[in-house]
Structure 1
Amino acid sequence: MPTEDTQELLLPRSRMANERLHALIPGGAHTYAKGDDQYPENLAPVISHGRGAHVWDVDGNRYIEYGSGLRSVSLGHAHPRVLEAVRRELDRGSNFVRPSIVEVEAAERFLATVPTAEMVKFAKNGSDATTAAVRLARAATGRPRVAICADHPFFSTDDWFIGTTPMSAGIPAATNELTVAFPYGDLAATEELLSRYQDEVACLILEPATQSEPPPGYLAGLRELADRHGCVLIFDEMITGFRWSEAGAQGMYGVVPDLSTFGKALGNGFAVSALAGRRELMERGGLRHSGDRVFLLSTTHGAETHSLAAAMAVQTTYVEEGITARLHALGERLAAGVRDAAAGMGVGDHIVVRGRASNLVFATLDENGQPSQEYRTLFLRRLLAGGVLAPSFVVSSALSDADIDRTVDVVAQACAVYRKALDAADPTPWLAGRPVKPVFRRLV
């Protein structure tokens, strides 16, 4: 494990690797959320390998890891059932000029797991799936506008969403004007939006749940609004899929969207996502309808056999081993431990654990109770020093009780330093460099 003293946590190989990354890859990573600007200066470990809930950096340090693969590795790294399924397909070829039998088997397995959907199409990443859902909604309704939930941080890398963020460079204003926003949990405001743009909104797209439970009747109310105003209801289940239930939030809350998108946990780190929904809509991207054809999803690698095998193994593991319940139990143990540790050090109002137990995040608040990147930097530095890599507290099922207990001990040590910074009303002496930065910002 890295040493307890932040000053002694040196990552010379990681620093050199980060320089190589930035020289060859814009941003130094293939996902902005993995960028070294998200970590304290000179403390952005570059990973060598992982197993279960642990990862090792190129300097040889081992960490207990949270938020694995941006929430995608929910079973832990190199999970044996997933690897066994993948290995079976590797020797049989991965991509052919016609569909593989694995494609229909994977579709049957998915639709049995998510029975609220009638058809499914696989892709490689979440952005492609959500954009396909939006395109399908526009085609079905003949309407141009997309209504996104303003309280949810990310839907797609494509123009219809990224144009609404501070990183909107390169996206025409005319495109941005076609995306409008509604607040989560406020049916009246959503109805006002739909009335203001009467017969213009093709779809409502949202994560059905995030850091708090949907208000009673909210999702059913959205379903009714979408029906009444003739627009398509899309659930982005990239995160809620499997972590809320095997069938996602729609399976838990009993509200059926017209379309939904899944990814992340679906492949346990292998590249696979899914667009699923009502046959009447999905078939518009097929060959058995009489209307205009929709170029729905057509990806060379979308049905790569080993990724679909991984997805099937993940679904089997979730159902047979009760993974969703385990994620909740681990998260509850962690949340309770962190809250107790923070309270014990007098920072319970400043380090705040939020979210569903299977999808925990934390907020770092300053002496005035405001979110602070400086205090986040301090907290992350201390976690890294204790061998905990935790941009969030999102658990994987590979964590042990000992891992959780160790994490809580490290959090307690971090909270002691946090208390000193609060008492000084200045975290700067504990940062040792620039603060971490938000992903979405206009300037570097």
Structure 2
Amino acid sequence: MRSFDRSNAAQERLHELIPGGAHTYARGSDQYPEFMTPILVRGNGCRVWDCDGNEYVEYGMGLRSVTLGHGYRPVVEAVSRTVADGVNFSRPTELELLAAEDFLTLVPGADMVKFAKNGSDATTAAVRLARAATGRDTVAICDQPFFSVDDWFIGTTGMNAGIPAADSTVRFPYNDLDSLAAVLDSHSVACVIMEAATALADPAPGYLAGVRALCDRYGTLLVFDEMITGFRWSAGGAQGLYRVIPDLSCWGKAMGNGFPISALAGRREFMELGGLRTERDRVFLLSTTHGPETGALAAFRAVVRAYAETDPVGRMEHAGRRLADGVNAIAADLGIGGHLEVLGRPSCLVFVTRDAEGRPSQPFRTLFLQELLERGVLGQSFVTSAAHTDADIDHTIEACRSAAEIYCRAVQQGSVDGLLHGRPVAPAIRAHAAPRYIDPVRQVS
């Protein structure tokens, strides 16, 4: 049994100093088994170590932001060389020009780009730009998990405290053109914002072209959220793979291999509304102190070189296919293939956990996470990186074999009773802290 004593003590202290005990809800302690909350101190490739000295093969890789591996030398060296000459200045740097040229070479459907630091900045800037360009307020969002921390999106979720009531965002389901047509027909929509594809859903034949045509018919801007698909589906994102060009697109995560950088890109006629070459009312588009800092731009340029000279997507997909095939074969052999299953695009895998009745289950998910942690595997998913070797996948498959045997016992007995230590995980975005509420009095005592 691994010790988590130092990690658990650090996690308690984090809750004293940081709301939620983490700077990202998806990294919260409520997303991991109770009393097994590794606090990490370093990483290399796809391996990470916590403050108790435990080593893990990591999946998820920085919420999908790391595709080349932790500490990838060409990126680290490029950043080190660059920041030695300064990080932030009061005028643009040549690096901003070079990075913009690199980006627009990868994304040929875009004419201009503006860099920022996080994905929400980019998506909210896209919404603001679309509203200014069309003179409309309503935003149509695809029924997908997450687009922004800002009011226009979070106000539609269950975690909407502190947000004024509004009726300016509407939803539509993925792969359903009729539903989108009905939304566009019944509302004056500034933009449609969506992921062109997800881990579990590819566009049906003709779907994205149909979305593009509907947006053109109704004078609505089409915005692709490429936060996850960019540099994971291809270097040019989903639009590069499916050959459907949006008016605007939003990027982040893997474009810096974990360094903080995001981007808004799009057609010149819209992007210029935030510039100096327009006679229309100007849009306050993106104006960030740290958006053009040199370290992240250098990281981005090194990532672009890595994608040009190597095949990160191919390596991620190779690792993912081996992992999915191996784990699914184990589940089938144990007779629990309908209860424990690895699904999704090979470079963006998730595992599905179902209870004895075949229903999605947080307690069963937590049991699987618990057993993986004990065997040196860390992750809320099986999202791979190019650093995952065959040996790492073999280690994970063997860990999954042992974890699946315990999972099978839970299915046979109909519950996780006696097998799960602590409370189950809970959805990251929810209205109340329960079922993972932490009593501050008990914690301090």
Q: Structures share a fold, TM > 0.5?
A: yes
Match of 2:302 in 1: 313
Alignment of 1:14 onto 2:7: yes
Measured after TM superposition, the shift of residue 9 of structure 1 is 2.3
1:182 to 2:172 alignment: yes
Residue of structure 2 equivalent to 1:4: none
**Number of equivalent positions:** 432
- Map of 2:109 onto structure 1: 116
What's the offset of the Cα at 1:333?
1.1
Corresponding residue SS for 2:231: helix
TM-score by length of 1: 0.96
**Residue 149 of structure 2, aligned match among 147, 157, 163:** 157
Q: Distance in 2 between matches of 1:420 and 1:355?
A: 26
Judge conservation of contact 1:268–1:314 (CA < 8 Å) in 2.
yes
- Distance, in Å, in 2 between the alignment partners of 1:43 and 1:29 is 15
Amino acid at match of 2:43: G
Does the CA-based 8 Å contact 1:49-1:55 persist in structure 2? yes
| Counterpart for residue 356 of structure 2 | 367
RMSD of Structure 2 on Structure 1 (CA): 0.7
Q: Is the 8 A contact 2:67 2:384 kept in 1?
A: yes
Q: Secondary structure at the match of 1:428?
A: coil
- The answer to whether the 8 A contact 1:345-1:412 is kept is no
Match of 1:386 in 2: 375
Cα distance in structure 2, aligned partners of 1:330 and 1:110: 27
The C-alpha deviation readout for 1:287-338, integer Å capped at 9, x for no partner, is: 1111000000000000000100000101110121011111111111111111
Deviations 1:248-289 (A, max 9, x none): 000000000000011110011100001001011111111111
Q: Distance in 1 between matches of 2:181 and 2:382?
A: 35
Structure 1 residue ranges without an equivalent (≥5): 1-7
The alpha carbon displacement at 1:10 in A equals 2.1
Moved over 2 A (4+): none
| Residue identity (%) | 59
Cα distance between partner residues in 1 of 2:203 and 2:339? 25
Letter in 2 for 1:180: V
8 A Cα contact 1:374 1:428, kept in partner: no
Q: Which residue identity does 1:208 align to in structure 2?
A: A
> What is the letter of the counterpart of residue 55 of structure 2?
R
Residue of structure 2 aligned with 1:38, choices 31, 35, 43: 31
Partner residue in 1 for 2:195: 207
CA distance in 2, matches of 1:331, 1:368: 28
Unaligned 5+ runs, structure 2: 434-445
SS of equivalent to 2:298: helix
Residue aligning to 1:322: 311
Give the distance between the partners of 1:429 and 1:264, measured in 2 at CA.
Answer: 39
Cα distance in 2 for residues equivalent to 1:246 and 1:327: 13
2:238 aligns with one of 249, 252, 266: 249
Shift of 1:212: 2.0
Render the CA deviation track for 1:88-143: whole Å, top value 9, x for unaligned.
11111010000011000000011111111110000000000000000000000000
| Structure 2 equivalent of residue 67 of structure 1 | 60
For residue 230 of structure 1, what is the aligned residue in structure 2?
Answer: 219
Aligned to 1:266: 255
Is the Cα contact below 8 Å between 2:177 and 2:207 reproduced in 1?
yes
Task: Using the TM superposition, give the Cα deviation of residue 19 of structure 1 relative to its aligned residue in structure 2, in angstroms.
Answer: 1.1
SS of 2:139's equivalent in the other structure is: strand
Secondary structure of 1:242's counterpart equals: coil
> 1:149·1:205 contact (CA, 8 Å) conserved in 2?
yes
Secondary structure in 2 aligned to 1:215?
Answer: coil
Q: Does 1:173 align with 2:162?
A: no
SS of the aligned residue for 1:240 comes to: coil
Mapped to 1, the partners of 2:168 and 2:404 lie a distance apart of 45
Residue 124 of structure 2 is matched in structure 1 by 131
1:413 aligns with 2:402: yes
Other structure's SS at 1:363 match: strand
Structure 2 counterpart of 1:148: 141
Distance, in Å, in 2 between the alignment partners of 1:304 and 1:113 is 21
Secondary structure of residue in 1 paired with 2:425: coil
